[in-house]
A = this chain, B = another copy of it.
Amino acid sequence: MAEIGEVEDHLADERRKAEFDVSAMKVVWAGSRHELEITDRMARIVASDPVFRKDNRAMLSRKELFKNSLKKAAHAWRRIIELRLTEEEASKFRSSVDEACYPDLHWGMFVPAIKGQGTDEQQKKWLPLAKKLQIIGCYAQTELGHGSNVQGLETTATFDPETDEFVIHSPTLSSSKWWPGGLGKASTHAVVYAHLITNGEDHGIHGFIVQLRSLDDHSPLPGITVGDIGTKFGNGAYNSMDNGVLQFDHVRIPRDQMLMRISQVTRDGKYLVSDVPRQLVYGTMVFVRQTIVQDASIALSRAVCIAVRYSSVRRQFGSQNGGPESQVIDYKTQQSRLFPLLASAYAFRFVGEWLKWLYTDVTQRLQANDFSTLPEAHACTAGLKSLTTSVTSDGIEECRKLCGGHGYLCSSGLPELFAVYVPACTYEGDNNVMLLQVARFLLKTVSSLASGHPPVGTASYFGRAEHLMQCSCEVRTADDWLKPSVILEAFEARAARMVIACAKNVSKTLVLEEGFSEFSIDLVEAAVAHCQLIVVSKFIEKLQQDIPGSGVKEALQVLCSVYALSLLHKHTGDFLSTGCINPKQASLANEQLRSLYAQVRPNAVALVDSFNYTDYYLNSALGRYDGNVYPTLYEAAWKDPLNDSVVPDGYHEYIRPLLKQQVTSRAARL
């Protein structure tokens, strides 16, 4: 948070323009007063602690960067204990530190895997160790040869009844574990996924707790080869993380280190499946993907905050009578690229909030042995994971471009934000593969309509398929596009028609799988339409709630319309070709969108202030709260190692000889 009053606020005029109560909007963004208070307090503690400094991150070598992350992780852990933070506070504290490091995987994957897949006994043994960080764990699933196709993993865990142990082995190069975060250098343990083999029979993929390194000197245990997989995209970015490679040469672990909640291997090597429902695993997935959607709204809002503030400071062209030039945020083309992203950030925030609820709902149902909503919840989170991470990574890059040349400097904060964010499109399920899963679910939903299964949750609009297939949009004026019911029906009709058209095409083929493959391109487009509908509908639902604060709801209503109508514009082809709207209505939507941009404009800076990000967190010369952009860029430049000396290292060897070639005498100044 900038110290207002101490320095000039170059954005003060913008802030005065705001038509809503920013402090009330901050509560809406944070989710509640309580969450705002915690987030804000944690953010300030981290921002004021010099150990967490990050402005030099892009200039460190890989080794320095990594060591520095270890330092930050250790310091964070110490502070969390000293400050006696609650779990909720600790988690916010860690995200405020904003540096990819082994604790992300330890807390985010290793601990949940044991919780979700371990027996009570196993949990009792391992969780206290993990929770006190007496062991450091990672999640070792992906291999060099297999990521998306988990069933294709090649690592084996063969039960040896002689010794009551599993023998973990990497039979090929491509079976090397590859990518697990925290594995390369930090972890002492891993949950390793491997084919369970007992009595020569393959029981498929199971998880095993494997110790990798000595707790005394951190050296790899016998039979284990482990290292880092190398430098990744971006300068600092994700390079503070030690994504690792791991090979097993017949490594033995006790039988009780197989995660046995769902299935067990007995002392004599029998494979048993317990009565705990397998579906529990999906519950964990819903949880993890829900956090990914939350993270998407954070990353996107961060980029948008930088781009909105800088676009308000930056002036280019349009000076009249020697007056100041236009702020680039006043150009309609700038608005048309920026404001839909601003609206998306809010949209993702609200759909993320709703997913939190969904996760609780699913969990409660699971406990009551009700699995009826699980496929829908699973498809929905897979789809939203794909949609929000794709839009967010493209959106960060668009925000960077919206800052012109200066966005290309690391001091803008945007290159690093992009590079560290973009793997979210790939991990936890490749976005394209996710959409294909959604497509499968949608096909099933359609095919079970006939059999009288009423579709549930986000798919329940298929219950009105008959109406949606033939309804016609009633828009006559641009203002009609402001009605939530109109928007909703248009998006429902588009999704339903696209999905049902695909279903018809697929059903014409003899073999379902061939049809699925043949029409998979259309299916993916239909899945996107379905996911966009979910986001639109959850935004609309949010606005049906009571939202306190002067002007807050009105400002959000504008954003909701911007979100929906900018999507409608981008996908006009879908809406027109399915006959959901006609060209005249498309053009009215566009007209409405133009006038909505004008309504967003005065609120733009206030809408990004509502994210409540500290300058430390943004780490951007362009996104500073006070808009004092140019001196900040200028000062950041001189800190580059290349400026350590005026005459660069290498001048004598590689520049001077060129300049001096064949020249006998020449003045130093021409």
Contacts and interface: CB of A to CB of B under 8 A. Distances in A.
Contacts of A357: none
Interface stretch (A20-28, A32-40, A59-67, A440-448): A59-67
B214 A668 contact: yes
B520 A70 contact: no
B242 A642 contact: yes
Contacts of A67: 648-650, 654
A628 to B, nearest CB: 11
Contact of A415 (B233, B574, B575, B657): B233
B634 A176 contact: yes
A521 B217 CA distance: 62
Contacts of A325: 149, 152
A30 interface: no
A218 B631 contact: no
A669 B232 contact: no
Interface in A588-632: 590, 594, 630-631
30 contacts: A62-B642, A73-B654, A74-B655, A129-B670, A133-B659, A136-B655, A136-B658, A149-B325, A152-B325, A185-B648, A186-B655, A215-B669, A219-B646, A226-B646, A227-B643, A231-B235, A231-B409, A231-B410, A233-B408, A234-B235, A238-B408, A242-B648, A331-B517, A332-B520, A333-B524, A334-B432, A337-B432, A401-B425, A408-B426, A573-B586
Contact of A70 (B228, B333, B648): B648
Q: Considering residues A336, A408, A422, which has the most beta carbons from chain B within 10 angstroms of its beta carbon? A: A408
Nearest to A65: B642
A499 B176 CA distance: 56
Contacts of A640: 62, 227-231
A410 B655 contact: no
A642 B215 contact: no
B332 A409 contact: no
A661 interface: yes
Contact of A637 (B221, B228, B641, B661): B228
B404 A147 contact: yes
Interface string A139-166: 0001011111100100000000000000
Contact of A654 (B71, B176, B594): B71
Contact of A517 (B332, B520, B578): B332
A301 interface: no
A479 B574 CA distance: 23
A173 B637 CA distance: 13
A401 to B, nearest CB: 6
A629 to B, nearest CB: 9
Nearest to A590: B522
A410 B232 CA distance: 5
Contacts of A71: 650, 653-654
Query: What 9 pairs across the A-B complex have the smallest Cβ distances?
Result: A572-B573, A233-B415, A67-B650, A70-B654, A216-B668, A573-B573, A185-B648, A74-B654, A70-B650
Interface string A405-436: 10111110001001100110111001110001
Interface string A571-586: 1111111110001001
Contacts of A274: none
A269 interface: no
Contact of A221 (B573, B586, B631, B669): B669
Contacts of A132: 661-662
Nearest to A68: B650
A316 B146 contact: yes
Contact of A572 (B405, B522, B576): B576
A211 interface: yes
A579 to B, nearest CB: 7
A77 interface: yes
A208 interface: no
Contact of A215 (B238, B415, B668): B668
Given A136-B659, A229-B409, A576-B573, A436 B235 contact: no
Contacts of A651: 70, 185, 218
A201 interface: no
A49 to B, nearest CB: 16
A72 to B, nearest CB: 9
A174 interface: yes
Contacts of A426: 401, 404-405, 407-408
A508 interface: no
Given A147-B405, A405-B142, A333 B521 contact: yes
Contact of A594 (B211, B226, B521, B653): B521
A215 to B, nearest CB: 5
B436 A333 contact: yes
A195 B418 CA distance: 38
Nearest to A633: B144
A219 B230 CA distance: 38
Contact of A336 (B149, B226, B521): B521
A199 interface: no
Given A134-B659, A233-B419, 4 more contacts: A59-B231, A62-B641, A179-B405, A233-B408
Given A234-B234, A668-B216, A59 B62 contact: yes
A152 B520 contact: no
Contact of A576 (B188, B228, B583): B583
A450 interface: no
A658 B133 contact: yes
A659 B61 contact: no
A61 B65 CA distance: 11
Contacts of A232: 408-410, 415
B185 A152 contact: no
Q: Considering residues A73, A641, A642, A669, which has the most beta carbons from chain B within 10 angstroms of its beta carbon? A: A642
A643 B231 CA distance: 11
Given A648-B70, A650-B66, A637 B227 contact: yes
A636 interface: yes
